[in-house]
Amino acid sequence: MLIFKNTRPKWALICAARLEDEDFKPPAYDKNDPATHKWHKTLYTKSRDGQVKGAGWTPEGIVQYNDYVAMIHNFRKEDSKNKCAAHIKMHELVRSRRNVTGSEPPRKRQRLTRKKVAEPVYVEVVEMSDDD
């Protein structure tokens, strides 16, 4: 969710441009050309921040991440009080969409093994002549 929210403005521009021109590609980033900046702008990552190659999370992005983690934690805590009703319902939904009917999970796939090759059968060929 956070990655979607982070890159949404950038992809909104790119998608709108691609609707007009199917072969459109955003221009490469050039720090001296402000016209290229809008195609690479994200909300919570900056190419110069952090120790991750390509982009690091800003403090606002980390706050957003922590908020999402807290929301998920609170949801799971409430769901466990309700005997995991939401989890069970989602589990049933996924099983119905994938046409899984049994209560047992499908058996594990067996590891492929090399089949033993039967030894070749040698047939002795005896030449017979009319003279014998």
Q: Which residue in 31, 40, 37 sits closest to 11, CA to CA? A: 40
Q: Which residue in 17, 36, 16, 18 sits closest to 28, CA to CA? A: 36
Are 6 and 15 contacting, i.e. CB atoms less than 8 angstroms apart? Answer: no
pLDDT tens string, the chain, 132 residues long: the values are 899 999 999 999 999 999 999 999 999 888 899 998 888 888 988 766 656 654 588 888 889 999 999 999 999 999 889 888 988 999 889 988 888 777 666 666 667 777 777 777 777 777 777 765
**Helices then strands, each counted (H, E), the chain:** 3, 2
